[in-house]
Amino acid sequence: MRAVLCDAFTGPEDMRIGEIDEPVPAGDEILIEVHAASVSFMDHLMVSGLYQMRPPTPFVPGTEAAGIVVAVGAKVTRFQPGDRVACGNWTGGYAERMVARESKSVRLPAGVAFETAATVWHNYGTAYYALVESARAQPGETVFVTGAAGGVGLAAVDLARHLGLRVVAGVGSDDKAALVRGYGAGDVINYRSEDLRARIKSITSGKGVDILFDNVGGPIFEQMARLMKWGGRMMPIGFTSGQIPSVPMNLPLLRNYCIVGVFTGAWIDNFPEQAARMNDNLAQWLADGKICPHIDRVLPLEQVKEAMRAVANRTVQGRIVLRIN
């Protein structure tokens, strides 16, 4: 079968399209004919050797896809061949067929396109785990989302709006402001041109934010450590700035807030039943129009390098999707 291959951790430019054997599903896995796969910053980190894990090479990148089930493992009970699904795995999405665990897959509601479905599992799953499971966000609370126009950030803005939160969106350029406002952000801060501390204090009347959903890390996280509300929750999601921040621990002590790490993939591996319920909730909200994934563009598989470059250069709003079958 046709697939994108990463032979070494040298970045997207050295990826190639080749022929490999079709994967065989394990007992708790399903085999999917992939119709669409999304391109994430995590995928870029993975092929560049900058992610927390390094798969054995050569490997097929791609953490999120959608398609049709063609075979199931002996222990699978929730799916059968012919089902339309969205799924996730650490690797394998940029291929004509991939395998995924039953717990990392969800049946698609009628009418949901594969291109749309391929953008939900990672983006909205991360936002859901952070806001619903970890932060226990309550209606009326204020959440500040950094990297708000990216895939995960925009999903967090969208989901936070659905949950009844007051959303403050952080972006790195003014051209992204309209998008995040359209998804429910009541206030937008360009932290490259504005004084972050002054804007947060003004927006919150000096009280600080209840929840920080931070995709960027570095100085932004460090500044926000002094701008949290009493009893707040700081949530590191990722470090797209390339800088892992440090926080003086007297700050959470004095404001009685907590720092809660968000590693959604590990949570799903450890709590598959809860993850399956999350997937079902997201699928229903998607079908009901309560969440609306944003697709920046759809490209053929052959343009995977262009897609990865756009993600690395932060020119993508929402997600790029690769059309495969």
Residue with tokens 């398609």: 67
> Do residues 52 and 164 both lie within one domain?
no
Sign of CA dihedral 223, 229, 231, 236: negative
Grade residue 243 by pLDDT with cuts at 50, 70 and 90. confident
Residue 314 backbone zone (phi > 0: left; psi -120 to 50: alpha; other: beta):
left
CATH number, domain containing residue 85: 3.90.180.10
Percent of the chain predicted with pLDDT > 90 = 79
Predicted confidence band of residue 259 (pLDDT cuts 50, 70, 90): very high
pLDDT of residue 238: 84
The CATH number assigned to the domain holding 147 equals: 3.40.50.720
Whether pLDDT at 220 is above 90: yes
Predicted pLDDT at 186: 96
How many domains does the chain divide into? 2
Do the bridges between strand 142-145 and strand 209-214 make them parallel or antiparallel, or are there none, so unpaired?
parallel
Angle at 134 between CA 130 and CA 135, to 5 degrees: 85
Same domain, 99 and 165: no
Rounded to an integer, the average pLDDT of 47-65 is: 93
CA pair distance 67, 100, nearest whole angstrom: 11
Tell me, yes or no, whether 113 and 127 share the same domain.
no
Residue 16 and residue 7 in contact, taking contact as beta carbons nearer than 8 Å: yes
Residue 242 confidence (pLDDT) above 80: no
244 and 312 co-located in one domain: no
**pLDDT single digits (tens) 264-302:** 888 988 898 888 889 889 988 988 889 999 999 999 999
> pLDDT value at position 254?
86
Q: Where are the beta strands (DSSP E) in 246-313?
A: 258-259, 295-300
Q: How much is the average pLDDT of 1-23?
A: 96
Residue-averaged pLDDT of the chain: 93
The neighbouring-strand residues paired with 211 are 143, 233
Widest Cα–Cα separation across the chain: 59
The whole-angstrom separation of Cα 169 and Cα 185 is: 6
Residues 79 and 25 in one domain: yes
pLDDT at 151: 86
Q: Which of 34-43, 127-136, 160-169, 237-246 has the lowest mean pLDDT?
A: 237-246
For residue 106, give its domain range. 2-119+294-323
Judgement on whether residues 49 and 30 belong to the same structural domain of the protein: yes
Q: What is the dihedral of CA 45, 48, 51, 53, to 10 degrees?
A: 130
pLDDT for the residue numbered 11: 93
The 3-state DSSP class for residue 64 equals strand
Are 96 and 15 spatial neighbours (Cβ–Cβ below 8 Å)? no
pLDDT at 204: 96
For position 53, what pLDDT does the model report? Answer: 86
One domain, residues 83 and 194: no
Choice between 150 and 68, residue whose per-residue pLDDT is larger: 68
Whether 120 and 44 have beta carbons less than 8 Å apart is answered as no
Say yes or no to pLDDT of 26 above 80.
yes
Rounded CA-CA distance 3/20 in Å is: 7
d(CA 252, CA 71): 50
Residues 251, 133: one domain?
A: yes
3-class state of residue 201 by DSSP: helix
- Could you tell me if 127 and 258 lie in one domain? yes
Give the pLDDT band of residue 317 (cuts 50, 70, 90).
confident
> So what's the pLDDT on residue 256?
92
What is the sign, positive or negative, of the torsion defined by CA atoms of 283, 86, 293, 147? positive
pLDDT tens-place string over residues 166-216: 999 999 999 999 999 999 999 999 999 999 999 999 999 999 999 999 999
**Three-state DSSP state, 103:** helix
Q: Where are the alpha helices (DSSP H) in 163-217?
A: 177-182, 196-203
CA distance 206 to 238: 27
The pLDDT assigned to 265 comes to: 81
Residue 315 is predicted with a pLDDT of 87
- Please check whether residues 142 and 204 belong to one and the same domain: yes
Query: What integer is the mean pLDDT of 218-232?
Result: 95
Q: What is the pLDDT of residue 228?
A: 97
CA distance 315 to 325: 26
Does residue 274 lie within any of the structural domains? no
How far is Cα 295 from Cα 116, in angstroms, rounded to an integer?
7
